A and B are shown apart, each in its own frame.
Chain A
Amino acid sequence: MANHEPHVIAELQNVWKSYGELMALYGLDLEVRAGEVLAILGPNGAGKTTTVNLLLGLAKPLQGSVRVFGCAPDDSRSRTRVGAMLQISAVPQTLRVAELVELFSSYYPDPLALAETLRIAGLEGLEKRPFGQLSGGQRQRVLFALSICGDPELLYLDEPTTGLDVEARRALWQQIRTFVERGRSVVLTTHYLEEADALADRIILLNEGRSIAEGSPTMIKARVTGRRIRCRTRLHTSEIDCIPGVKSVEALDGTIEILTSRAEPVVRELLMRDGELSDLEVIGAALDDAFLALTNKKEAA
Protein backbone atom coordinates (compact mmCIF):
# COMPACT_ATOMS: atom_id res chain seq x y z
CA MET A 1 0.00 0.00 0.00
CA ALA A 2 2.79 2.40 0.91
CA ASN A 3 4.20 2.56 -2.63
CA HIS A 4 0.89 3.18 -4.32
CA GLU A 5 -1.25 6.22 -4.82
CA PRO A 6 -3.07 6.71 -1.52
CA HIS A 7 -6.34 4.90 -1.58
CA VAL A 8 -9.03 7.21 -0.25
CA ILE A 9 -11.78 5.45 1.68
CA ALA A 10 -13.59 8.42 3.18
CA GLU A 11 -13.60 12.12 2.44
CA LEU A 12 -15.09 15.47 3.25
CA GLN A 13 -15.08 18.01 0.42
CA ASN A 14 -15.57 21.67 1.19
CA VAL A 15 -17.84 20.89 4.12
CA TRP A 16 -19.58 23.69 5.97
CA LYS A 17 -21.53 22.98 9.10
CA SER A 18 -23.33 25.16 11.59
CA TYR A 19 -25.43 24.62 14.67
CA GLY A 20 -27.96 27.39 14.49
CA GLU A 21 -26.00 30.63 14.54
CA LEU A 22 -22.79 28.91 15.55
CA MET A 23 -20.48 28.00 12.70
CA ALA A 24 -18.69 24.70 13.38
CA LEU A 25 -16.78 23.98 10.16
CA TYR A 26 -15.62 26.38 7.45
CA GLY A 27 -15.20 24.51 4.17
CA LEU A 28 -13.21 21.60 5.56
CA ASP A 29 -11.48 19.18 3.18
CA LEU A 30 -10.28 15.91 4.61
CA GLU A 31 -9.45 12.49 3.28
CA VAL A 32 -8.91 9.20 5.05
CA ARG A 33 -6.54 6.78 3.34
CA ALA A 34 -6.67 3.00 3.56
CA GLY A 35 -4.46 1.58 6.29
CA GLU A 36 -3.58 4.85 8.00
CA VAL A 37 -4.20 6.19 11.47
CA LEU A 38 -5.32 9.76 10.98
CA ALA A 39 -5.43 11.98 14.04
CA ILE A 40 -7.66 15.03 14.07
CA LEU A 41 -6.03 17.17 16.67
CA GLY A 42 -7.37 20.35 18.14
CA PRO A 43 -8.58 22.17 21.23
CA ASN A 44 -12.15 21.86 22.53
CA GLY A 45 -14.63 23.38 20.14
CA ALA A 46 -12.34 23.01 17.12
CA GLY A 47 -14.90 20.88 15.26
CA LYS A 48 -13.40 17.43 15.84
CA THR A 49 -16.58 15.71 17.03
CA THR A 50 -18.59 17.47 14.32
CA THR A 51 -16.20 16.06 11.72
CA VAL A 52 -16.65 12.53 13.08
CA ASN A 53 -20.44 12.92 13.24
CA LEU A 54 -20.48 14.04 9.61
CA LEU A 55 -18.34 11.07 8.57
CA LEU A 56 -20.75 8.79 10.45
CA GLY A 57 -23.82 10.37 8.91
CA LEU A 58 -25.05 11.44 12.35
CA ALA A 59 -25.10 15.04 11.19
CA LYS A 60 -25.74 16.56 7.80
CA PRO A 61 -23.47 19.19 6.26
CA LEU A 62 -24.85 22.60 5.48
CA GLN A 63 -22.91 22.46 2.25
CA GLY A 64 -20.28 20.16 0.74
CA SER A 65 -20.05 16.44 0.27
CA VAL A 66 -19.30 13.52 2.57
CA ARG A 67 -18.50 10.12 1.06
CA VAL A 68 -17.54 6.94 2.88
CA PHE A 69 -16.58 3.86 0.84
CA GLY A 70 -18.14 5.56 -2.14
CA CYS A 71 -21.55 5.86 -0.46
CA ALA A 72 -23.44 8.37 1.62
CA PRO A 73 -22.26 7.99 5.22
CA ASP A 74 -25.68 6.92 6.52
CA ASP A 75 -26.03 4.24 3.84
CA SER A 76 -26.07 0.78 5.43
CA ARG A 77 -23.47 -0.33 2.84
CA SER A 78 -20.96 2.02 4.43
CA ARG A 79 -22.26 1.65 7.98
CA THR A 80 -21.53 -2.10 7.98
CA ARG A 81 -17.88 -1.32 7.17
CA VAL A 82 -17.25 1.24 9.89
CA GLY A 83 -17.21 1.21 13.68
CA ALA A 84 -17.39 4.11 16.08
CA MET A 85 -16.38 4.89 19.63
CA LEU A 86 -18.21 8.07 20.56
CA GLN A 87 -18.11 10.31 23.59
CA ILE A 88 -21.14 8.98 25.39
CA SER A 89 -21.71 8.90 29.10
CA ALA A 90 -23.25 5.48 29.57
CA VAL A 91 -24.75 2.37 28.10
CA PRO A 92 -27.49 0.38 29.86
CA GLN A 93 -26.02 -0.32 33.28
CA THR A 94 -27.59 -3.72 33.84
CA LEU A 95 -26.38 -5.40 30.66
CA ARG A 96 -23.21 -7.47 30.92
CA VAL A 97 -20.08 -6.97 28.84
CA ALA A 98 -20.54 -10.12 26.74
CA GLU A 99 -24.23 -9.31 26.16
CA LEU A 100 -23.44 -5.83 24.88
CA VAL A 101 -20.79 -7.20 22.52
CA GLU A 102 -23.13 -9.96 21.33
CA LEU A 103 -25.85 -7.41 20.59
CA PHE A 104 -23.59 -5.07 18.62
CA SER A 105 -21.93 -7.97 16.79
CA SER A 106 -25.33 -9.01 15.43
CA TYR A 107 -25.59 -5.73 13.48
CA TYR A 108 -22.66 -6.62 11.19
CA PRO A 109 -22.40 -9.17 8.39
CA ASP A 110 -19.02 -10.57 9.36
CA PRO A 111 -18.23 -9.76 12.99
CA LEU A 112 -15.23 -10.84 15.00
CA ALA A 113 -15.71 -13.81 17.30
CA LEU A 114 -16.73 -12.72 20.80
CA ALA A 115 -13.50 -14.06 22.30
CA GLU A 116 -11.43 -12.14 19.73
CA THR A 117 -13.24 -8.87 20.43
CA LEU A 118 -12.75 -9.34 24.17
CA ARG A 119 -9.09 -10.19 23.68
CA ILE A 120 -8.32 -7.13 21.54
CA ALA A 121 -10.19 -4.83 23.92
CA GLY A 122 -8.54 -6.36 27.00
CA LEU A 123 -11.83 -7.42 28.54
CA GLU A 124 -11.08 -11.08 29.19
CA GLY A 125 -12.45 -12.15 32.56
CA LEU A 126 -15.00 -9.28 32.60
CA GLU A 127 -17.56 -10.94 30.29
CA LYS A 128 -20.17 -11.40 33.01
CA ARG A 129 -19.71 -8.01 34.68
CA PRO A 130 -22.64 -5.57 34.30
CA PHE A 131 -21.58 -2.30 32.67
CA GLY A 132 -22.63 -0.35 35.77
CA GLN A 133 -20.03 -2.15 37.89
CA LEU A 134 -17.03 -1.33 35.70
CA SER A 135 -14.30 1.24 36.30
CA GLY A 136 -13.89 4.22 33.98
CA GLY A 137 -11.08 2.56 32.06
CA GLN A 138 -13.03 -0.67 31.70
CA ARG A 139 -16.06 1.23 30.44
CA GLN A 140 -13.98 2.90 27.74
CA ARG A 141 -12.66 -0.53 26.77
CA VAL A 142 -16.25 -1.80 26.44
CA LEU A 143 -17.08 1.13 24.15
CA PHE A 144 -13.92 0.28 22.22
CA ALA A 145 -15.03 -3.36 22.00
CA LEU A 146 -18.44 -2.25 20.65
CA SER A 147 -16.67 -0.18 18.00
CA ILE A 148 -14.47 -3.02 16.72
CA CYS A 149 -16.76 -6.04 17.14
CA GLY A 150 -18.06 -5.69 13.56
CA ASP A 151 -14.45 -5.97 12.31
CA PRO A 152 -14.75 -2.57 10.61
CA GLU A 153 -12.39 -1.50 7.83
CA LEU A 154 -12.58 2.04 9.17
CA LEU A 155 -12.74 2.81 12.86
CA TYR A 156 -13.64 6.21 14.35
CA LEU A 157 -12.39 6.97 17.84
CA ASP A 158 -13.76 10.25 19.18
CA GLU A 159 -11.52 11.31 22.06
CA PRO A 160 -11.18 7.73 23.26
CA THR A 161 -9.04 8.43 26.32
CA THR A 162 -10.63 11.62 27.65
CA GLY A 163 -10.96 11.37 31.41
CA LEU A 164 -8.72 8.31 31.77
CA ASP A 165 -5.65 8.18 33.98
CA VAL A 166 -2.23 7.69 32.43
CA GLU A 167 -2.19 3.95 32.95
CA ALA A 168 -5.65 3.35 31.48
CA ARG A 169 -4.79 5.65 28.58
CA ARG A 170 -1.64 3.71 27.71
CA ALA A 171 -3.55 0.43 27.99
CA LEU A 172 -6.15 1.67 25.51
CA TRP A 173 -3.40 2.87 23.15
CA GLN A 174 -2.04 -0.66 23.17
CA GLN A 175 -5.48 -2.03 22.32
CA ILE A 176 -5.86 0.48 19.49
CA ARG A 177 -2.47 -0.61 18.12
CA THR A 178 -3.51 -4.26 18.31
CA PHE A 179 -6.51 -3.43 16.17
CA VAL A 180 -4.50 -1.33 13.69
CA GLU A 181 -2.13 -4.27 13.17
CA ARG A 182 -5.01 -5.98 11.39
CA GLY A 183 -4.44 -3.48 8.55
CA ARG A 184 -7.44 -1.34 9.41
CA SER A 185 -7.83 2.42 9.09
CA VAL A 186 -8.51 4.66 12.04
CA VAL A 187 -9.70 8.23 12.45
CA LEU A 188 -8.82 9.40 15.92
CA THR A 189 -9.79 12.73 17.42
CA THR A 190 -7.94 13.96 20.43
CA HIS A 191 -6.83 17.05 22.23
CA TYR A 192 -3.91 15.13 23.69
CA LEU A 193 -0.94 15.92 21.52
CA GLU A 194 0.98 13.03 22.97
CA GLU A 195 -1.80 10.71 21.87
CA ALA A 196 -1.71 11.85 18.25
CA ASP A 197 2.08 11.56 18.29
CA ALA A 198 1.94 8.05 19.77
CA LEU A 199 -0.70 6.60 17.45
CA ALA A 200 -1.02 8.55 14.22
CA ASP A 201 0.63 8.27 10.82
CA ARG A 202 -0.81 11.60 9.83
CA ILE A 203 -2.18 14.53 11.79
CA ILE A 204 -4.68 17.19 10.81
CA LEU A 205 -4.61 20.14 13.11
CA LEU A 206 -8.05 21.67 13.48
CA ASN A 207 -8.79 25.01 15.05
CA GLU A 208 -12.08 26.90 15.05
CA GLY A 209 -13.53 24.81 12.26
CA ARG A 210 -10.56 25.07 9.91
CA SER A 211 -7.66 22.80 9.10
CA ILE A 212 -4.54 24.78 9.94
CA ALA A 213 -1.84 22.16 9.38
CA GLU A 214 -1.57 18.66 8.02
CA GLY A 215 1.25 16.15 7.86
CA SER A 216 3.17 13.45 9.68
CA PRO A 217 3.79 14.01 13.39
CA THR A 218 7.41 14.86 12.47
CA MET A 219 6.31 17.38 9.87
CA ILE A 220 3.90 18.98 12.28
CA LYS A 221 6.68 19.28 14.82
CA ALA A 222 8.95 20.80 12.19
CA ARG A 223 6.35 23.43 11.44
CA VAL A 224 7.22 25.10 14.67
CA THR A 225 10.65 26.31 13.77
CA GLY A 226 11.96 25.47 16.98
CA ARG A 227 14.29 24.46 19.68
CA ARG A 228 14.03 25.33 23.31
CA ILE A 229 17.11 26.43 25.25
CA ARG A 230 17.11 26.37 29.03
CA CYS A 231 19.90 27.69 31.23
CA ARG A 232 20.86 29.71 34.29
CA THR A 233 22.52 32.99 33.43
CA ARG A 234 23.15 36.43 34.85
CA LEU A 235 22.14 37.97 31.52
CA HIS A 236 18.99 40.01 31.53
CA THR A 237 16.04 38.82 29.41
CA SER A 238 16.00 42.07 27.45
CA GLU A 239 19.65 41.51 26.57
CA ILE A 240 18.97 37.94 25.39
CA ASP A 241 16.04 39.13 23.35
CA CYS A 242 18.45 41.17 21.20
CA ILE A 243 20.49 38.11 20.17
CA PRO A 244 19.73 37.31 16.50
CA GLY A 245 17.51 34.22 16.05
CA VAL A 246 15.83 34.44 19.44
CA LYS A 247 12.06 34.29 19.12
CA SER A 248 11.07 34.61 22.73
CA VAL A 249 12.61 34.67 26.19
CA GLU A 250 11.01 33.82 29.47
CA ALA A 251 12.39 33.79 33.00
CA LEU A 252 11.10 31.06 35.30
CA ASP A 253 12.41 30.70 38.87
CA GLY A 254 15.92 31.78 37.97
CA THR A 255 15.95 29.68 34.80
CA ILE A 256 15.78 31.33 31.42
CA GLU A 257 13.85 29.66 28.63
CA ILE A 258 14.52 30.70 25.04
CA LEU A 259 12.65 29.68 21.90
CA THR A 260 14.67 29.82 18.71
CA SER A 261 14.76 28.41 15.21
CA ARG A 262 18.39 27.29 15.43
CA ALA A 263 20.01 26.59 18.76
CA GLU A 264 23.75 26.60 17.93
CA PRO A 265 24.40 30.28 17.09
CA VAL A 266 22.29 31.39 20.04
CA VAL A 267 24.14 29.09 22.47
CA ARG A 268 27.51 30.33 21.10
CA GLU A 269 26.42 33.93 21.65
CA LEU A 270 25.12 33.19 25.15
CA LEU A 271 28.37 31.51 26.20
CA MET A 272 30.38 34.41 24.80
CA ARG A 273 28.41 36.94 26.81
CA ASP A 274 28.22 34.91 30.04
CA GLY A 275 31.12 32.57 30.76
CA GLU A 276 29.47 31.43 33.99
CA LEU A 277 26.28 30.26 32.31
CA SER A 278 25.15 26.92 33.82
CA ASP A 279 22.58 24.12 33.59
CA LEU A 280 22.42 24.42 29.79
CA GLU A 281 19.78 22.28 28.08
CA VAL A 282 18.64 22.23 24.44
CA ILE A 283 15.32 20.52 23.80
CA GLY A 284 13.49 19.81 20.56
CA ALA A 285 10.07 21.38 20.60
CA ALA A 286 7.45 18.85 21.61
CA LEU A 287 4.21 18.47 19.74
CA ASP A 288 2.60 20.56 22.44
CA ASP A 289 4.74 23.51 21.39
CA ALA A 290 3.93 22.99 17.75
CA PHE A 291 0.31 22.89 18.64
CA LEU A 292 0.37 26.05 20.70
CA ALA A 293 2.45 27.93 18.17
CA LEU A 294 0.17 26.99 15.29
CA THR A 295 -3.10 27.70 17.07
CA ASN A 296 -1.77 31.00 18.42
CA LYS A 297 -0.53 32.07 15.00
CA LYS A 298 -4.04 31.54 13.72
CA GLU A 299 -5.49 33.73 16.45
CA ALA A 300 -2.98 36.49 15.74
CA ALA A 301 -3.78 36.48 12.01
Chain B
Amino acid sequence: MTTTAQSVATPMDGKSRSLTRIFTLEAKYELLKLLRMPAYAIPTVMFPLLFYVFFGLVFGGGRMAGPINMSTYLLATYGAFGVIGASLFGFGVGVAIERGQGWMLLKRATPMPPLAYFTAKIFMALTFSLIIVLGLFALAAIFGGVTMPVSAWLSLAAVLIAGALPFCAFGLALGYFCGPNSAPAIVNLLYLPLAFLSGLWIPVQALPGLLQNLAPALPPYHFSQLALAQIGASAGPAPWVSILYLAVFTALSLGLALFGYRRDEGKTYG
Protein backbone atom coordinates (compact mmCIF):
# COMPACT_ATOMS: atom_id res chain seq x y z
CA MET B 1 0.00 0.00 0.00
CA THR B 2 1.63 3.23 -1.12
CA THR B 3 -1.28 5.65 -0.93
CA THR B 4 -1.85 6.55 2.66
CA ALA B 5 -5.27 6.83 4.17
CA GLN B 6 -4.14 10.20 5.49
CA SER B 7 -4.46 12.06 2.21
CA VAL B 8 -8.14 11.30 1.84
CA ALA B 9 -9.32 13.43 4.73
CA THR B 10 -10.97 16.65 3.62
CA PRO B 11 -12.78 19.15 5.75
CA MET B 12 -16.52 19.32 5.29
CA ASP B 13 -16.60 21.77 2.44
CA GLY B 14 -19.20 24.45 3.00
CA LYS B 15 -22.02 22.04 3.76
CA SER B 16 -22.85 21.64 7.38
CA ARG B 17 -25.60 20.08 9.40
CA SER B 18 -27.74 21.98 11.84
CA LEU B 19 -27.36 20.92 15.46
CA THR B 20 -30.61 22.68 16.32
CA ARG B 21 -32.38 20.58 13.73
CA ILE B 22 -30.87 17.34 15.08
CA PHE B 23 -31.87 18.16 18.67
CA THR B 24 -35.36 19.27 17.63
CA LEU B 25 -36.10 16.24 15.47
CA GLU B 26 -34.66 13.87 18.06
CA ALA B 27 -36.94 15.35 20.75
CA LYS B 28 -39.98 15.46 18.47
CA TYR B 29 -39.70 11.81 17.49
CA GLU B 30 -38.88 10.66 21.01
CA LEU B 31 -42.15 12.21 22.15
CA LEU B 32 -44.17 11.00 19.16
CA LYS B 33 -42.79 7.50 19.56
CA LEU B 34 -44.16 7.24 23.11
CA LEU B 35 -47.40 9.14 22.56
CA ARG B 36 -48.24 6.60 19.86
CA MET B 37 -47.60 3.76 22.29
CA PRO B 38 -50.80 3.44 24.35
CA ALA B 39 -49.26 0.71 26.50
CA TYR B 40 -46.79 3.29 27.74
CA ALA B 41 -48.64 6.59 27.54
CA ILE B 42 -51.92 5.55 29.19
CA PRO B 43 -50.62 3.88 32.37
CA THR B 44 -47.91 6.51 32.84
CA VAL B 45 -50.43 9.33 32.83
CA MET B 46 -53.50 7.54 34.21
CA PHE B 47 -52.06 5.70 37.24
CA PRO B 48 -51.14 8.84 39.23
CA LEU B 49 -54.45 10.46 38.27
CA LEU B 50 -56.48 7.39 39.29
CA PHE B 51 -54.58 6.99 42.56
CA TYR B 52 -55.18 10.64 43.31
CA VAL B 53 -58.89 10.23 42.62
CA PHE B 54 -59.12 7.23 44.97
CA PHE B 55 -56.93 8.42 47.83
CA GLY B 56 -56.93 12.18 47.42
CA LEU B 57 -60.52 12.86 46.39
CA VAL B 58 -62.71 9.93 47.45
CA PHE B 59 -61.03 9.65 50.86
CA GLY B 60 -59.94 13.31 50.73
CA GLY B 61 -61.37 16.10 52.85
CA GLY B 62 -59.58 17.71 55.75
CA ARG B 63 -58.27 14.85 57.87
CA MET B 64 -54.74 16.24 58.06
CA ALA B 65 -53.65 18.32 61.01
CA GLY B 66 -53.36 22.02 60.33
CA PRO B 67 -54.75 24.10 57.51
CA ILE B 68 -53.79 21.62 54.76
CA ASN B 69 -56.42 19.04 53.82
CA MET B 70 -55.71 15.62 52.36
CA SER B 71 -56.66 16.59 48.79
CA THR B 72 -54.04 19.32 48.81
CA TYR B 73 -51.36 17.27 50.58
CA LEU B 74 -51.72 14.30 48.26
CA LEU B 75 -51.69 16.56 45.20
CA ALA B 76 -48.00 17.14 45.95
CA THR B 77 -47.17 13.51 46.72
CA TYR B 78 -49.06 11.97 43.79
CA GLY B 79 -47.51 14.65 41.62
CA ALA B 80 -44.11 13.36 42.72
CA PHE B 81 -45.29 9.78 42.19
CA GLY B 82 -46.36 10.52 38.59
CA VAL B 83 -43.21 12.43 37.70
CA ILE B 84 -40.95 9.68 39.06
CA GLY B 85 -42.90 7.08 37.07
CA ALA B 86 -42.61 9.01 33.80
CA SER B 87 -38.87 9.47 34.37
CA LEU B 88 -38.04 5.92 35.40
CA PHE B 89 -40.16 4.21 32.74
CA GLY B 90 -39.64 6.65 29.88
CA PHE B 91 -35.94 6.94 30.47
CA GLY B 92 -34.88 3.75 32.20
CA VAL B 93 -36.99 1.18 30.42
CA GLY B 94 -36.63 3.14 27.14
CA VAL B 95 -32.84 3.03 27.28
CA ALA B 96 -32.78 -0.64 28.30
CA ILE B 97 -35.04 -1.61 25.38
CA GLU B 98 -33.19 0.51 22.83
CA ARG B 99 -29.87 -0.93 23.96
CA GLY B 100 -31.27 -4.43 23.67
CA GLN B 101 -32.72 -3.92 20.23
CA GLY B 102 -29.49 -2.43 18.92
CA TRP B 103 -31.19 0.89 18.12
CA MET B 104 -28.69 2.66 20.33
CA LEU B 105 -25.78 0.87 18.67
CA LEU B 106 -27.04 1.95 15.25
CA LYS B 107 -27.28 5.56 16.48
CA ARG B 108 -23.79 5.40 17.94
CA ALA B 109 -22.51 4.43 14.49
CA THR B 110 -23.91 7.67 13.06
CA PRO B 111 -22.49 11.17 13.58
CA MET B 112 -25.42 11.98 15.87
CA PRO B 113 -24.13 13.91 18.93
CA PRO B 114 -24.83 11.50 21.85
CA LEU B 115 -26.19 14.43 23.84
CA ALA B 116 -29.06 14.77 21.33
CA TYR B 117 -30.32 11.31 22.29
CA PHE B 118 -30.26 12.05 26.02
CA THR B 119 -31.70 15.56 25.87
CA ALA B 120 -34.56 14.19 23.76
CA LYS B 121 -35.34 11.69 26.49
CA ILE B 122 -35.17 14.41 29.16
CA PHE B 123 -37.51 16.57 27.09
CA MET B 124 -39.89 13.64 26.79
CA ALA B 125 -39.84 12.97 30.56
CA LEU B 126 -40.44 16.67 31.31
CA THR B 127 -43.35 16.77 28.85
CA PHE B 128 -45.01 13.70 30.37
CA SER B 129 -44.42 15.20 33.82
CA LEU B 130 -46.14 18.41 32.73
CA ILE B 131 -49.12 16.46 31.39
CA ILE B 132 -49.43 14.53 34.66
CA VAL B 133 -49.10 17.67 36.81
CA LEU B 134 -51.69 19.55 34.76
CA GLY B 135 -54.06 16.60 34.97
CA LEU B 136 -53.69 16.40 38.75
CA PHE B 137 -54.12 20.15 39.14
CA ALA B 138 -57.33 20.05 37.11
CA LEU B 139 -58.73 17.21 39.24
CA ALA B 140 -57.72 18.97 42.46
CA ALA B 141 -59.19 22.33 41.49
CA ILE B 142 -62.39 21.04 39.91
CA PHE B 143 -63.29 18.00 42.04
CA GLY B 144 -61.17 18.43 45.17
CA GLY B 145 -62.04 22.02 45.90
CA VAL B 146 -58.35 22.69 46.41
CA THR B 147 -57.65 26.41 46.62
CA MET B 148 -54.19 27.94 46.86
CA PRO B 149 -52.59 31.22 45.89
CA VAL B 150 -51.48 31.28 42.24
CA SER B 151 -47.85 31.47 43.39
CA ALA B 152 -48.26 28.16 45.29
CA TRP B 153 -49.73 26.41 42.22
CA LEU B 154 -46.86 27.68 40.11
CA SER B 155 -44.06 26.84 42.51
CA LEU B 156 -45.53 23.39 43.14
CA ALA B 157 -45.68 22.74 39.40
CA ALA B 158 -42.11 23.98 38.94
CA VAL B 159 -40.71 21.78 41.73
CA LEU B 160 -42.62 18.72 40.53
CA ILE B 161 -41.39 19.07 36.95
CA ALA B 162 -37.81 19.85 37.98
CA GLY B 163 -37.96 16.73 40.15
CA ALA B 164 -38.00 14.68 36.97
CA LEU B 165 -34.28 15.36 36.50
CA PRO B 166 -32.77 13.29 39.36
CA PHE B 167 -35.03 10.39 38.43
CA CYS B 168 -34.12 10.66 34.75
CA ALA B 169 -30.51 10.25 35.85
CA PHE B 170 -31.44 7.25 38.00
CA GLY B 171 -33.52 5.81 35.14
CA LEU B 172 -30.56 6.20 32.81
CA ALA B 173 -28.34 4.26 35.20
CA LEU B 174 -30.98 1.51 35.45
CA GLY B 175 -31.25 1.50 31.65
CA TYR B 176 -27.57 0.63 31.39
CA PHE B 177 -27.69 -2.16 33.95
CA CYS B 178 -31.01 -3.87 33.17
CA GLY B 179 -31.71 -6.16 30.26
CA PRO B 180 -34.46 -5.11 27.88
CA ASN B 181 -36.82 -7.82 29.12
CA SER B 182 -36.18 -7.49 32.83
CA ALA B 183 -36.13 -3.68 32.89
CA PRO B 184 -39.91 -3.11 33.32
CA ALA B 185 -40.07 -5.61 36.19
CA ILE B 186 -36.95 -4.26 37.92
CA VAL B 187 -38.15 -0.67 37.60
CA ASN B 188 -41.56 -1.61 39.03
CA LEU B 189 -39.93 -3.47 41.91
CA LEU B 190 -37.99 -0.34 42.80
CA TYR B 191 -40.59 2.26 41.94
CA LEU B 192 -43.64 0.97 43.79
CA PRO B 193 -41.99 0.12 47.17
CA LEU B 194 -39.91 3.31 47.08
CA ALA B 195 -43.05 5.36 46.44
CA PHE B 196 -44.91 3.73 49.32
CA LEU B 197 -41.99 3.88 51.78
CA SER B 198 -41.34 7.54 50.94
CA GLY B 199 -44.90 8.51 51.78
CA LEU B 200 -46.13 9.21 48.27
CA TRP B 201 -49.30 7.11 48.58
CA ILE B 202 -50.22 7.87 52.15
CA PRO B 203 -48.56 10.65 54.15
CA VAL B 204 -45.29 9.62 55.73
CA GLN B 205 -46.71 10.53 59.17
CA ALA B 206 -49.29 7.79 58.73
CA LEU B 207 -46.62 5.09 58.22
CA PRO B 208 -45.53 2.86 61.12
CA GLY B 209 -42.73 4.36 63.23
CA LEU B 210 -39.96 2.16 61.87
CA LEU B 211 -40.83 3.09 58.29
CA GLN B 212 -41.07 6.76 59.21
CA ASN B 213 -37.44 6.57 60.31
CA LEU B 214 -36.43 4.80 57.11
CA ALA B 215 -38.14 7.29 54.77
CA PRO B 216 -35.50 10.07 54.96
CA ALA B 217 -32.98 7.65 53.44
CA LEU B 218 -35.00 7.43 50.20
CA PRO B 219 -34.77 9.79 47.22
CA PRO B 220 -38.54 10.09 46.54
CA TYR B 221 -39.03 11.22 50.15
CA HIS B 222 -36.78 14.25 49.60
CA PHE B 223 -38.45 15.05 46.30
CA SER B 224 -41.91 14.93 47.88
CA GLN B 225 -40.84 17.01 50.89
CA LEU B 226 -39.58 19.71 48.53
CA ALA B 227 -42.95 19.64 46.74
CA LEU B 228 -44.81 19.73 50.07
CA ALA B 229 -42.71 22.71 51.18
CA GLN B 230 -44.29 24.71 48.33
CA ILE B 231 -47.69 24.34 49.94
CA GLY B 232 -46.45 24.69 53.51
CA ALA B 233 -46.94 21.04 54.37
CA SER B 234 -43.39 19.70 54.67
CA ALA B 235 -42.59 17.89 57.88
CA GLY B 236 -39.15 16.94 56.61
CA PRO B 237 -35.67 18.43 56.71
CA ALA B 238 -34.81 21.96 55.59
CA PRO B 239 -35.14 22.29 51.79
CA TRP B 240 -31.38 22.69 51.29
CA VAL B 241 -30.83 19.25 52.86
CA SER B 242 -33.23 17.63 50.40
CA ILE B 243 -31.73 19.56 47.48
CA LEU B 244 -28.24 18.45 48.49
CA TYR B 245 -29.43 14.88 48.90
CA LEU B 246 -31.01 14.88 45.41
CA ALA B 247 -27.92 16.53 43.89
CA VAL B 248 -25.70 13.77 45.27
CA PHE B 249 -28.21 11.14 44.16
CA THR B 250 -28.19 12.65 40.63
CA ALA B 251 -24.40 12.75 40.51
CA LEU B 252 -24.09 9.14 41.65
CA SER B 253 -26.69 8.02 39.10
CA LEU B 254 -24.94 9.87 36.28
CA GLY B 255 -21.61 8.39 37.31
CA LEU B 256 -23.10 4.92 37.20
CA ALA B 257 -24.75 5.64 33.83
CA LEU B 258 -21.45 6.92 32.43
CA PHE B 259 -19.75 3.73 33.57
CA GLY B 260 -22.45 1.73 31.76
CA TYR B 261 -22.11 3.86 28.63
CA ARG B 262 -18.36 3.34 28.54
CA ARG B 263 -18.77 -0.37 29.20
CA ASP B 264 -21.03 -0.60 26.13
CA GLU B 265 -18.21 0.67 23.92
CA GLY B 266 -16.32 -2.56 24.38
CA LYS B 267 -19.38 -4.66 23.67
CA THR B 268 -21.26 -5.88 20.64
CA TYR B 269 -24.77 -7.07 20.15
CA GLY B 270 -25.65 -10.05 18.02
Contacts and interface: CB of A to CB of B under 8 A. Distances in A.
Categorize the interface residue count of chain A. Answer: 35 or more
A91 interface: yes
A103 interface: yes
Interface string B238-269: 00000000000000000000000000011111
Looking at A59, A78, A92, the one whose CB has the most chain B CB atoms below 10 A away is A92
Q: Which residue among B36, B37, B106 has the maximum number of chain A CB atoms within 10 Å of its CB?
A: B106
Contacts of A121: none
Interface string B50-68: 0000000000000000000
B37 A94 contact: yes
B7 A70 contact: yes
A11 B5 contact: yes
Interface stretch (B21-29, B146-154, B157-165, B210-218): B21-29
User: Which among A11, A19, A94, A104 has the highest number of chain B CB atoms within 10 Å?
Assistant: A94
Given A19-B266, A69-B5, A106-B21, 6 more contacts: A7-B8, A58-B105, A86-B102, A90-B102, A94-B33, A109-B16
B3 A107 contact: no
Contacts of A70: 4-9
A56 B9 CA distance: 16
Interface in B1-50: 1-9, 11-12, 15-18, 21-22, 25-26, 29, 32-34, 36-37
Contacts of A143: 106
B40 to A, nearest CB: 10
B265 A58 contact: yes
A196 interface: no
23 contacts: A6-B3, A8-B8, A11-B5, A58-B268, A59-B266, A59-B268, A60-B265, A70-B8, A79-B111, A84-B110, A86-B109, A89-B100, A90-B102, A92-B98, A94-B33, A103-B26, A106-B22, A107-B17, A107-B110, A108-B17, A109-B12, A109-B15, A143-B106
B270 interface: yes
Nearest to A92: B33
A34 B8 CA distance: 10
Interface residues of B, number: 43
A95 B110 contact: no
A207 B192 CA distance: 50
A267 to B, nearest CB: 44
A110 B112 CA distance: 14
A229 interface: no
Q: Report the 10 A-B pairs with minimum CB-CB distance, sorted nearest first.
A: A88-B102, A70-B9, A94-B36, A79-B111, A109-B15, A84-B109, A110-B15, A90-B101, A70-B6, A80-B111
B171 to A, nearest CB: 17
A76 interface: yes
A87 B265 CA distance: 16
Contacts of B7: 70
A296 B237 CA distance: 72
